[in-house]
Amino acid sequence: MACKNSGPTLTIEDARRLPALCGVADAAALTGYSTHYISDCCSRGTIRGVKFGRRWCIDTAALLKQFGIGE
């Protein structure tokens, strides 16, 4: 069950300016989902990311493609 926020808070232009890897907060703002849901998806492998300590680094391009953002 996904916890959807009120919607994306980053624009497509904001998304294009993100670095190759983004954090959970940026991914949540971009997709409109909660940070908890994004972290959970990373843990399950449904969102491509690498964990460094307690932080997830998410492949921004893969995230945009997966959610159909900017197409």
Give CA–CA dist 43/35, Å, rounded. 12
Please list the helix, strand and coil fractions of the chain in percent, rounded to the nearest 5, in that order: 45, 20, 40
Structural domain boundaries enclosing 20: 16-66
Residue 31 counted as domain residue: yes
Sheet with 21-22, strands from edge to edge, namely 21-22, 55-59, 49-52
What's the half-sphere exposure (Cβ side, CA atoms, 13 Å) at 8? 15
Residue 2 counted as domain residue: no
Residue 1 counted as domain residue: no
Q: What is the pLDDT of residue 57?
A: 97
CATH classification of the domain holding 42: 1.10.10
Residue 11 counted as domain residue: no
Q: What is the pLDDT of residue 11?
A: 72
Residue 32 counted as domain residue: yes
Domain count, the chain: 1
Q: Going residue by residue through the chain (71 aa), what tens digit of pLDDT does each one get?
A: 555 655 666 777 777 787 889 999 999 988 989 999 999 999 999 999 999 999 999 999 999 899 888 76
